[in-house]
Structure formats: C-alpha cells, structure tokens
C-alpha cells in the first residue's frame, strides 16, 4: 500500500460513521458530524492509525491542531507519532505572548493564535484539523507556523470537502484526508 493510500481499507467504515446534519450551523451548510465516529472505538482507532500512517514518513516533531475540533484527534495523533502537540487557539485563550492570523470560514470569519515561543526555528510540523472545507483555517495555520520559522511537513484531515477547493489554497504543501466528499 502506498503512503497516500495509508488507511484506505478503513475509509468505508469511517465514511459510514460520519453523519450529515443539514442546515447547521446555518441554512445551506451540510455539517459533517464526526461524533458517531468518535463514539465508536474501532472507528476512532482506525482514524488515528490512518492519519498516523500517512504522517509518520514525513517525520513530524510537532502536531499543530486548530481549536476546537482539531484538538479531538490532534493529541492522539501527536502521541501516536511520538511528537509534541501545539494548540492553535481562538483569540484571548493562550496566556503567553501570541502570534495571530485571521481567516475566513465556510460560514464566517475567525482568528487563531499560537504561542510565539511554541515552535523552534526549523521544527518539522504536521498540521491537523478534523475537516478541510475552503482551506482558510489551514492556510492561516500554515502562515502562523511558517512565520515562526518552522517547516510544514504536511496537513492531514479526517474529511475533505473537495468541492470547496481547500486543497488549492495549500499550494505545494502535501495534504491528505481520509474521507473525501466531491459534492455536498
């Protein structure tokens, strides 16, 4: 199995465990609810294992994940990779000096912050979030990580909403999602 196909066997199981919630958090958005996947230990393990299998050859030293849903698997993924974990938090939550990036969501505008001293120059960073939609969140994380002098070795997600084109926003950066949706 190639690295990019890592975890392919688990995809039908994971897809079946993701539930569509129409018109949440607002009309016209189909929310991909991962809570049934998280509830089922076999699916939870399969998701972490598949994300780790893709990420491991990229030799990350740190996993950076976005508040809040990126935190759910981000810590487990960092542990599986024997990497450290750095939380990217909503403004005003981190206690020490921060760097901030604003970004657009599929359904709003927000900002994320990292502790300014969280990443050493040249550190190998894997970015994780539960889902990539327009790519705005991940793009902001890439800019924060690179702005601190660290290297983004890849970005991984449980879900990609491919019809929103988030992958293009990441340019040359290597990314992988376990479950892809080509239409809403």
42 binds ligand AMP (CB under 6 A): no
Cβ neighbours of residue 101 under 8 Å, at least 6 residues apart?
111, 112, 113, 140, 141, 143, 144
> Whose Cβ is closer to ligand AMP: residue 30's or residue 116's?
30
Q: How far is the CB of 32 from ligand AMP (least distance, A)?
A: 4
Cα(160)–Cα(135) distance, integer angstroms? 9
Cβ neighbours of residue 79 under 8 Å, at least 6 residues apart?
none
Which residues share a beta bridge with 101?
112
> Whose Cβ is closer to ligand AMP: residue 96's or residue 109's?
109
Among 61, 113, 130, 160, binds ligand AMP (CB under 6 A): 130
125 binds ligand AMP (CB under 6 A): no
Is residue 69 annotated as a catalytic residue, yes or no?
yes
17 binds ligand AMP (CB under 6 A): no
Bond from prior residue into 25 cis (ω within 30 degrees of 0)? yes
Cα(9)–Cα(12) distance, integer angstroms? 7
Q: How far is the CB of 100 from ligand AMP (least distance, A)?
A: 16
74 binds ligand AMP (CB under 6 A): no
> Whose Cβ is closer to ligand AMP: residue 48's or residue 131's?
131
Q: How far is CA 48 from CA 33, 72, 83, 132, 169, in A?
A: 17, 10, 14, 17, 25
133 binds ligand AMP (CB under 6 A): yes
Among 134, 144, 152, 176, binds ligand AMP (CB under 6 A): 134
Among 10, 14, 18, 32, binds ligand AMP (CB under 6 A): 32
Cα(29)–Cα(178) distance, integer angstroms? 21
Interacting residues with ligand AMP (CB under 6 A): 29-32, 66, 69, 105-106, 129-138, 161, 166
- Supply the residues annotated as catalytic: 69, 106
């Amino acid at each position: 199995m190639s690295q990019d196909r890592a975890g392919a066997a688990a995809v039908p199981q994971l897809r079946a465990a993701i539930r569509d919630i129409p018109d949440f958090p607002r009309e016209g958005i189909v929310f991909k609810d991962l809570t049934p996947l998280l509830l089922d230990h076999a699916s939870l393990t399969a998701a972490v294992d598949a994300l780790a299998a893709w990420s491991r050859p990229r030799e990350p030293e740190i996993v950076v994940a976005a508040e809040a849903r990126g935190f759910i698997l981000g810590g487990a993924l960092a542990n599986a990779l024997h990497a450290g974990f750095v939380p990217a938090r909503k403004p005003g939550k981190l206690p020490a000096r921060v760097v901030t990036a604003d970004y657009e969501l599929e359904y709003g505008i927000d900002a994320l912050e990292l502790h300014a001293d969280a990443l050493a120059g040249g550190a190998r960073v894997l970015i994780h979030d539960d889902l990539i939609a327009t790519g705005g969140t991940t793009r902001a994380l890439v800019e924060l990580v690179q702005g601190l002098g660290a290297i983004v070795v890849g970005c991984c997600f449980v879900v990609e909403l491919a019809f929103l084109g988030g992958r293009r926003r990441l340019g040359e950066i290597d990314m992988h999602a376990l479950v892809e949706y080509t239409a809403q």
